[in-house]
């Protein structure tokens, strides 16, 4: 079994568990609807087995999820998309607010095409160009859907390194900075930049979402595959970390002024 298949199963299984919990069904009860034991549902939720087409249809019917689980499985296992992407976009759509911190990159929802391409080529230079281009298209489309919507409110803190150690010294970075400056000019998106080298965000990038009516959740990035954090105490710690970052960062007004000053340093 390849790592990619395992990852897809785990991501899909986590969503299955969320939908079962929301429906207030036990694994045994859902298993009876499928004609199997509760342990078979446990195996699906833990990513040990893959669902068949019949099981997918029965799960969606039993849980009242339309075709969500079948569609998500197809997205993850057949379309070659990043396994967490479907879940992340679903959470973003439901969220009333998004709190995001990134120490050295512009958050993916706010990236331009050329900036995203430069970042992806740097992170995975071995990927075929066609695959990189497809990933960039998915990222930009997701960002455009977010930017064109009226909700959620987004509060962003980025590291000063985003400005001081840019992905290029020319038009790519200038275009990207102009883009985030324009977005941050609205009341929906607030941008702040860290002011000191030592701060609570040294743990790495993370995002806090509150998808109503579900409880708040954190997505913490890593080089391996990232992690969704559901534990209430851990989520609370990430929220505290973000608010401490906000308190220690430049104000939104000063941050925008710094972006304006930095833009002037890049040729068009």
* Domain positions in the chain: 3-77, 85-263
Give the closest residue to 157 by CA, choosing from 259, 253, 242, 256: 242
According to DSSP, the residues that pair with 110 across neighbouring strands are none
Rg, the chain, Cα only: 20
CATH topology of domain 85-263: Endonuclease; Chain A (3.30.870)
Indicate yes or no: pTM above 0.75: no
pLDDT tens readout for residues 75-89: 666 544 444 555 778
Query: Contact, 118 vs 106, CB < 8 A?
Result: no
- Token pair for residue 163? 């400005």
Element (DSSP H or E) covering residue 97: strand 95-102
* Bridge partners (DSSP) listed for residue 157: 101, 192
pLDDT of residue 189: 96
**What pLDDT does residue 145 have?**
92
- Peptide linkage before 100 cis (omega within 30 of 0): no
HSE, side-chain direction, 13 A CA sphere, residue 29: 9
Residues 6+ apart with CB under 8 A from 148: none
pLDDT digits (tens, 9 = 90+) for 133-190: 988 998 999 999 999 999 999 999 999 999 999 999 889 999 999 999 999 988 899 9
Contact present, 65 and 51 (Cβ < 8 Å): no
Decide the pairing of beta strands 153-158 and 189-193: parallel
pLDDT at residue 231 in the model: 83
CA of 150: how far to CAs of 20, 184, 207, in Å? Answer: 30, 14, 19
How do the pLDDT tens digits run along the chain, 268 residues long?
Answer: 444 556 678 878 888 998 999 999 999 999 998 888 888 999 999 988 988 888 999 999 999 988 888 888 876 665 444 445 557 788 888 899 999 999 999 999 999 999 999 999 998 899 888 888 988 998 999 999 999 999 999 999 999 999 999 999 889 999 999 999 999 988 899 999 998 888 888 889 999 999 877 788 898 886 656 677 878 899 999 999 999 999 999 999 999 999 999 999 888 8
The predicted pLDDT at position 113 comes to: 97
Beta bridge partners of 154: 98, 189
Hey, which residues does 211 pair with through a beta bridge?
95
The CATH superfamily of 3-77 is lambda repressor-like DNA-binding domains (1.10.260.40)
Name the H helices within the chain: 3-22, 27-34, 38-45, 53-63, 68-77, 85-94, 113-123, 129-148, 161-164, 171-184, 232-248, 252-263
Q: What are phi and psi of 17, to 5 degrees?
A: -60, -40
């Amino acid at each position: 079994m390849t790592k990619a298949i395992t990852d897809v199963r785990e991501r899909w299984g986590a969503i299955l568990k969320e939908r079962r919990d929301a429906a207030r069904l036990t694994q045994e009860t859902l298993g009876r609807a499928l004609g199997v034991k509760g342990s078979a549902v446990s195996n699906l939720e833990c990513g040990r087995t893959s669902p068949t087409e019949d099981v997918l249809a029965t799960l969606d019917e039993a849980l009242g999820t339309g075709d969500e689980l079948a569609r998500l499985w197809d997205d993850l296992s057949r379309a070659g998309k990043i396994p967490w992407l479907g879940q992340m976009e679903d959470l973003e759509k439901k969220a009333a607010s998004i709190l995001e911190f990134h120490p050295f990159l512009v958050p993916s929802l706010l990236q331009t095409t050329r900036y995203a391409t430069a970042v992806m080529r740097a992170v995975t230079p071995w990927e075929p160009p066609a695959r990189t281009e497809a990933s960039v298209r998915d990222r930009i489309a997701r960002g455009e859907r977010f930017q064109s919507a009226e909700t959620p409110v987004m509060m962003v803190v980025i590291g000063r390194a985003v400005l001081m150690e840019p992905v290029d010294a020319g038009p790519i970075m200038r275009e990207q900075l102009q883009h985030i400056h324009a977005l941050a000019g609205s009341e929906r998106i607030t941008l702040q930049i860290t002011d000191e080298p030592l701060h609570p965000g040294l743990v790495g990038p993370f995002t806090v979402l509150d998808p109503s009516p579900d409880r708040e959740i954190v997505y913490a990035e890593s080089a391996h595959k990232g992690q969704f954090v559901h534990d209430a105490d851990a989520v609370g710690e990430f929220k505290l970390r973000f608010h401490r970052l906000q308190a220690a960062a430049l104000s939104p007004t000063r941050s925008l002024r710094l972006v304006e000053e930095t833009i002037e340093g890049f040729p068009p």
